[in-house]
């Protein structure tokens, strides 16, 4: 039996890949909220939930100035290309 990643986890991967492809290593709270509103949903509860999920799934780490993108998760080039293709 193959276990799939949840939709929430997949969206977190996509958001993190977008941030990396745009050159972020640290992301300000305002920028993260903008990306979440643009790619996931603008409802404040959704934005709050995805900020929490990104930290919980170890894509981001909270810092004083916002969030740091954790390098351990960074996907292979194939995933980055897929995200770039889907965002066109």
For the chain, the domains span 7-83
Q: In Å, how far are 52, 65, 87, 88 from 58, measured between CA atoms?
A: 10, 18, 23, 27
Per-residue pLDDT tens listing for the chain (88 residues): 788 889 999 999 999 989 988 888 899 999 999 999 999 999 999 999 999 999 999 999 999 989 999 877 665 555 566 666 666 6
- Residue 35, pLDDT score: 95
- Residue 87, pLDDT score: 64
- Domain 7-83 CATH (choose: 1.20.120, 1.10.8, 1.10.10, 1.10.3470): 1.10.10
User: Which class for 17: exposed (0-12), middle (13-18), buried (19 or more C-beta within 10 A)?
Assistant: buried
- Residue 88, pLDDT score: 60
- Residue 3, pLDDT score: 86
- Residue 80, pLDDT score: 60
């Amino acid at each position: 039996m193959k276990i799939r990643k949840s939709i929430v986890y997949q969206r977190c991967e996509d958001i993190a890949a977008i941030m990396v492809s745009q050159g972020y290593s640290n992301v300000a709270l305002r920028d993260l909220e903008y990306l979440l509103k643009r790619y996931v949903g603008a409802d404040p509860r959704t934005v709050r939930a995805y900020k929490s999920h990104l930290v919980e799934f170890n894509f981001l780490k909270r810092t004083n100035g916002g969030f740091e993108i954790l390098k351990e998760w960074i996907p292979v080039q194939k995933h980055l290309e897929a995200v770039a293709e889907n965002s066109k």
